[in-house]
């Protein structure tokens, strides 16, 4: 069997690994041992897993592999941000970003090669869409960052699906990846430290509410449908009212208390007026919500400009006055194009878009 045809065990959660080991006539406790080798000891070679019988090691080597994504480039920004450009084959590249701060290390991961949703202010959207990433390709981003950081005594405390792609258009891979991020035998992160960010794919959001107990960020960016239709075109299909109803379902699901982070990119003269801020207060009233204002990060070909500092402050003051918890995101990793919305990777567009960066 060529390496290409082998099953990449990185993509399998505990349940799937148990099925696989059962099919090999192995006891379930072997799954725990395997996961320890992979996630605790970072061992990718079956031959070195010495508590497995020779026969099992051989069987695994023949049918499976543990393969990390291929790093094409690693960039270091002056503020400590690290960006990995990952080769996903056929001239496609995705990006993963590590953002260190005093009390945490956040890894921003991609879920798709490009994105089909075409938000007007997003450089990933402008590149078009090629394909969904597999669970192994998603988890592989965390593995390879972990691998690099552990030697530098740095750690990943939070994982956010805020890189390239719309995670809720790749539910098949994103949910099992979340399982592994939360699983104590794999990454063991708490549900509050794993965040799925969505532009508002309502049916998927309703499914997610029951399927994975992770944190939710919603890219709102406008407080009325006419403006949101323009900035986030999926709003034409799932308008704000439907989106907020789905948000309420998410908030009421599960056994533990939940909150939502609403992201709002600040675009000069577009969505940053005091009137929009007031509408936003009305829209979010009564919800367990926090707003994160993101100064727009420019990229080539964009017409948008970042809101002025004073405008962002005024906008934030209106939200404060309306009783809404609000933070403004500090832009990080700009010098290596690693800031929010600057991730472009390289995407061989399979959609019929006319609008492209190149």
List of residues contacting ligand SF4 (CB under 6 A): 115, 117-119, 122, 124-125, 165-166, 199, 219
Q: Are strands 112-114 and 105-108 parallel, antiparallel or unpaired?
A: unpaired
265 is in the binding site of which of ligand SAH, ligand SF4, none (Cβ under 5 to 8 A by kind)? ligand SAH
340 is in the binding site of which of ligand SAH, ligand SF4, none (Cβ under 5 to 8 A by kind)? ligand SAH
Answer for which of 12, 294, 318, 344 binds ligand SAH (CB under 6 A) is 294
296 is in the binding site of which of ligand SF4, ligand SAH, none (Cβ under 5 to 8 A by kind)? ligand SAH
The closest residue (CB) to ligand SF4 is 125
In whole angstroms, give the CA distance from residue 83 to residue 72. 11
Q: Is 334 a catalytic residue?
A: no
Task: Compare residues 94 and 318 and give the one whose CB is closer to ligand SF4.
Answer: 94
Of 25-33, 85-93, 193-201, 222-230, the segment contacting ligand SAH by CB under 6 A is: 193-201
Examine residue 315 and tell whether it contacts ligand SAH (CB under 6 A).
Answer: no
Annotated binding site for S-adenosyl-L-methionine: 165-166, 197, 219-221, 297
Q: Is 309 a catalytic residue?
A: no
263 is in the binding site of which of ligand SAH, ligand SF4, none (Cβ under 5 to 8 A by kind)? ligand SAH
> Of 67, 95, 137, 263, which is the active-site residue?
95
> Of 65, 108, 178, 340, which is the active-site residue?
340
Examine residue 219 and tell whether it contacts ligand SAH (CB under 6 A).
Answer: yes
107 is in the binding site of which of ligand SAH, ligand SF4, none (Cβ under 5 to 8 A by kind)? none
Query: What's the closest the beta carbon of residue 340 comes to ligand SAH, in angstroms?
Result: 4
Residue ranges of alpha helices (H) inside 111-233 are: 123-127, 135-150, 171-182, 202-211, 225-231
Residue 330's Cα: distance from chain center in Å? 18
- Residue 245's contacts (CB-CB under 8 Å, 6 or more residues apart) are none
In whole angstroms, give the CA distance from residue 78 to residue 258. 35
In whole angstroms, give the CA distance from residue 144 to residue 84. 9
In whole angstroms, give the CA distance from residue 188 to residue 178. 10
Q: What angle do CA 19, 25, 28 make, to 5 degrees?
A: 55
Task: Compare residues 140 and 167 and give the one whose CB is closer to ligand SF4.
Answer: 167
| Backbone CA torsion sign across 282, 283, 285, 291 | negative
234 sits in the region (left: phi over 0; alpha: psi -120 to 50; else beta) called alpha
In whole angstroms, give the CA distance from residue 308 to residue 312. 6
Q: Give the catalytic positions in this structure.
A: 95, 340
Site of interaction with ligand SAH (CB under 6 A): 115, 119, 121-122, 162, 166, 197-199, 219, 263, 265, 294, 296-297, 340-341
């Amino acid at each position: 069997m060529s390496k290409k045809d082998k099953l990449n065990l990185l993509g399998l959660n505990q349940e799937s690994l148990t099925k696989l080991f059962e099919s090999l006539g192995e006891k379930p406790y072997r799954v725990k041992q395997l996961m320890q080798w992979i996630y605790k000891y970072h061992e990718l070679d079956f031959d070195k897993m010495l508590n497995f019988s020779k026969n099992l090691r051989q069987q695994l080597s023949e049918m499976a592999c543990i393969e990390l994504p291929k790093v094409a480039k690693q960039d270091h920004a002056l503020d400590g941000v690290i960006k990995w450009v990952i080769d996903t084959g056929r001239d496609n590249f995705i990006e993963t970003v590590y953002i260190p701060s005093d009390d945490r290390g956040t890894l921003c991961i991609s879920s798709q090669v490009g994105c089909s949703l075409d938000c007007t202010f997003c450089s990933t959207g402008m590149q078009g869409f090629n394909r969904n990433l597999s669970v192994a390709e998603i988890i592989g981003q965390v593995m390879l960052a972990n691998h690099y950081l552990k030697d530098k005594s740095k750690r990943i405390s939070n994982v956010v699906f805020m890189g390239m792609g719309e995670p809720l258009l790749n539910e098949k891979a994103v949910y099992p990846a979340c399982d592994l991020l939360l699983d104590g035998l794999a990454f063991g992160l708490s549900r509050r430290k794993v965040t799925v960010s969505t532009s508002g794919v309502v049916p998927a959001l309703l499914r997610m509410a029951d399927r994975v107990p992770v944190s939710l960020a919603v890219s709102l960016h406008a407080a009325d449908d006419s403006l949101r239709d323009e900035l986030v075109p999926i709003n034409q299909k799932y308008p704000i009212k439907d989106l907020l109803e789905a948000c309420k379902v998410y908030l009421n699901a599960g056994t533990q208390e939940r909150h939502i982070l609403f992201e709002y990119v600040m675009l000069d003269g577009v969505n940053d007026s005091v009137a929009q801020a007031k509408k936003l207060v009305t829209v979010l009233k009564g919800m367990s919500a926090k707003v994160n204002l993101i100064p727009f990060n420019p990229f080539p070909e964009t017409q948008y400009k970042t809101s002025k500092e004073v405008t962002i402050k005024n906008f934030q003051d209106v939200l404060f006055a309306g009783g809404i918890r609000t933070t403004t995101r500090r832009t990080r990793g700009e010098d290596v194009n690693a800031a929010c919305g600057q991730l472009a990777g390289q995407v061989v567009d399979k959609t019929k878009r006319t609008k492209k960066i190149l």
